[in-house]
A = this chain, B = another copy of it.
Amino acid sequence: MEGPINFTVLPRLARKTPTRILFLVMDGLGGCLGKGPTALQASKHPNLDALAARSALGRTIQVLDGITPGSGPGHLALFGYDPLTVDVGRGLLEALGVGADVGPGDVAIRGNLCTVDAEGRVVDRRAGRIPTSQARPLIRQLAEAIPAIDDVMVEFHAGLQHRFAVVLRGPELGPDVDDTDSGEIGRPILSAYARNGAAARTASIADQITRLAQETLAGREVANAVLLRGFAARPEILSYRELAKLSGVAIAAYPAYRGVARLLGMHIVDTIEPGCPVRDEVDALTDVWGDDYDFYFLHVKGTDSAGEDGDLARKAQVIEEVDEQLPRLLALEPDVIVVTGDHATPAPLRAHSWHGVPTILHGPWCEPDAETTFDEEACQRGRLGARLPATALLRLALANAGKLVKYGA
């Protein structure tokens, strides 16, 4: 919507101050009006309502009207980065998210342990969602069996359940390789297809990994092969410090969100576990709250998962869980608090969507609305507008926190 204008403006105007900004991001928060109550409308959240009453409200568009954001683009937009300009592949987010280092020239890949039959056909793309504790030793085996191919170092990093990441490090690697995962069962693992000459070597190495992994895991009934997906390089991108002079910290349990935060140079709190209660995340936030950081990213996953399952009641419940914890967040006295999502995930749609994301902006100069509740309708009427580019939120937060000098004399 706005393009990469923040890259031009913010580095010139941002200044370091002691004020603190908190972004409370409920993944997939938004719903679609006109399909019965949304999860925000179906839940009781008196604390969010009270905050909304002294805040400015709006609905954000992350990419463009009508375009449904994936998690990567959705978060990048929230953090002020134009997702149409910054191309971040999923392999990169997963790799960064599980703690891998990905440098310039490296290629990051997202992997699945999968199960193939005797003819090499994929019968389970996720190896029965093998528990993390069982998957880790297998990934260790792969790491030991495949430390390098030719002069390219191959790094394996275990993730959650069947998921892992691979980083290729060496000369002449290009990221433009199609997935080896056809996305269907009953079909063989695909050859890695290089979309251009620069990626030919990466594709050849990927095919060798596929073969060597099957040899290494041979004899197993499940989790006896790997699928490689989301080949990606690290884009040149301003860090959060370079963009806005912010020292950021992320409280996020899942790899992809940690990956986005790490890409921007935020510190990652790695003590929380996927599926943990929101209370644990707020505990972790409270622990790091202080002078080390001035930007706090708190990510709540449950709203999105419930939305994708079509479970409105559970989505509403997660919102209520967040609402219960809100007073603890407010007690930390952040100078600015933004409550929003990275995209909508309407439960009736059971998928991400393009609808505007309900958003609260609270800060000393936020111009509160007359609204007294937090839902899509109130946000639709709010001062921030019904179609606020998400990339504007960071600017508004910085402004409210007194972190931006004026533009021009």
C-alpha gap A398/B392 in the complex (Å): 26
Q: A interface, by DSSP: helix, strand, loop or mixed? A: loop
C-alpha gap A342/B348 in the complex (Å): 34
C-alpha gap A69/B325 in the complex (Å): 38
**A343 closest partner in B (C-beta):** B406
Q: Does residue A112 face the partner (Cβ distance < 8 Å to B)?
A: no
B408 and A83 contacting across the interface, CB-CB below 8 Å: yes
B399 and A68 contacting across the interface, CB-CB below 8 Å: yes
A89 and B367 contacting across the interface, CB-CB below 8 Å: no
**A351 closest partner in B (C-beta):** B406
Q: Does residue A219 face the partner (Cβ distance < 8 Å to B)?
A: no
Chain B nearest CB from A191 CB (Å) reads 22
1/0 contact string of A333-356 vs chain B (CB within 8 Å): 000000000000010010111110
C-alpha gap A256/B84 in the complex (Å): 34
Q: Does residue A284 face the partner (Cβ distance < 8 Å to B)?
A: no
A65 and B367 contacting across the interface, CB-CB below 8 Å: no
C-alpha gap A8/B5 in the complex (Å): 18
Chain B residues in 8 Å Cβ range of A397: 66
**A93 closest partner in B (C-beta):** B409
Q: Does residue A143 face the partner (Cβ distance < 8 Å to B)?
A: no
**A8 closest partner in B (C-beta):** B84
Chain B residues in 8 Å Cβ range of A256: 409
B367 and A355 contacting across the interface, CB-CB below 8 Å: yes
Q: Does residue A63 face the partner (Cβ distance < 8 Å to B)?
A: yes
Given A34-B368, A399-B354, A408-B69; A5-B89 close (CB under 8 Å): no
Cross-chain contact of A89 among B67, B407, B409 (Cβ < 8 A): B409
**A394 closest partner in B (C-beta):** B66
Cross-chain contact of A408 among B64, B88, B406 (Cβ < 8 A): B88
Given A8-B84, A9-B84; A66-B380 close (CB under 8 Å): no
Chain B nearest CB from A343 CB (Å) reads 8
Interface residue count on the A side (C-beta < 8 Å): 62
Given A355-B367, A368-B33; A395-B72 close (CB under 8 Å): no
Chain B nearest CB from A381 CB (Å) reads 10
Given A8-B84, A73-B408; A32-B365 close (CB under 8 Å): yes
A365 and B385 contacting across the interface, CB-CB below 8 Å: no
Within 8 A of B (CB), among A4-34: 5, 8-9, 13, 32-34
Q: Does residue A366 face the partner (Cβ distance < 8 Å to B)?
A: yes
Q: Does residue A201 face the partner (Cβ distance < 8 Å to B)?
A: no
Q: Does residue A245 face the partner (Cβ distance < 8 Å to B)?
A: no
Given A34-B366, A69-B406: 15 more A-B contacts, CB < 8 Å: A1-B2, A5-B64, A9-B63, A9-B64, A33-B367, A33-B383, A63-B407, A65-B388, A69-B407, A70-B409, A71-B408, A73-B408, A74-B408, A353-B399, A355-B365
What are 5 sample pairs from A and B whose C-beta atoms fall under 8 A apart? A1-B2, A33-B367, A64-B395, A66-B398, A67-B407
Q: 7 tightest A-B contacts by CB?
A: A66-B395, A90-B409, A70-B408, A73-B408, A65-B392, A68-B406, A66-B396
